[in-house]
Structure 1
Amino acid sequence: MALLKKLFFLLIGLAAILLGIGLVLTNPDAITIDFFGYESGPLPRGLWLLAALFTGCLTGILASLPMLLRLRRRVHVLNQQLIKLRVAPARAKNKTE
């Protein structure tokens, strides 16, 4: 099952790379972008689109990271409480015997 999962992610990654290459090849027009007074060098429109997509994905991941870390911590705390609750009846049973 793990091999199938790795193969699936490999195929998804390969498809993303091929789509990115196709995007760059179908948008070859060189454009310059003005970043608040700083003008960039001429690059193909497809590269700018990929850069914008990458930046948006990275921003989304970074924005969701604090919530993910809080949830992971909460799961850890709840698992510790569950372990204590499972051990407590066994200890009580051993004391009564």
Structure 2
Amino acid sequence: MALLKKLCLLLIGLAAILLGIGLVLSNPDVMTVDFFGREAGPLPGGLWLLVALFIGCLAGMLASLPMLLRLRRRARGLNQQLIKLRVAPARERNKAE
């Protein structure tokens, strides 16, 4: 199963790389982008699109990080509580015997 998961991730990564290359090759017009009065170097339009996509994905992951950490902490607490609830009846049975 782990091999299948790695193979799927490899295929998805390869497809993403091929789509990115296709995007850059289909948008070869050179553009300069102005960031608050400072011009960035001239790059193909497709590459600017990939940079914008990457920055947007990174910003989305960073924005969801606090919620993810909060949920992991809650899940860890609930798992500990579940372990205590499972262990308590076993201890009571051992005391009764």
Q: What TM-score do the two structures reach when normalised by structure 1?
A: 0.98
Q: Which residue of 2 aligns with 1:19?
A: 19
> Is the partner of 1:4 in helix, strand or coil?
helix
Give the counterpart letter for 2:5 in structure 1: K
Q: Aligned residue pairs: how many?
A: 97
Shift of 1:68: 0.5
**Structure 2 residues without counterparts, runs of 5 or longer:** none
Q: Which residue of 2 aligns with 1:39?
A: 39
Runs of 4+ aligned structure 1 residues displaced above 4 Å come to none
Q: Within 1, Cα distance between the matches of 2:96 and 2:12?
A: 58
Give how far 1:40 is off.
Answer: 1.4
Per-residue Cα deviation, 1:17-53 (whole angstroms, up to 9, x for no partner): 0000000000000011111100112110011000000
CA distance in 2, matches of 1:30, 1:67: 39
Percent sequence identity is 80
RMSD of equivalent CA atoms: 0.6
Any stretches of 5+ residues in structure 1 without a counterpart?
none
Aligned to 1:9: 9
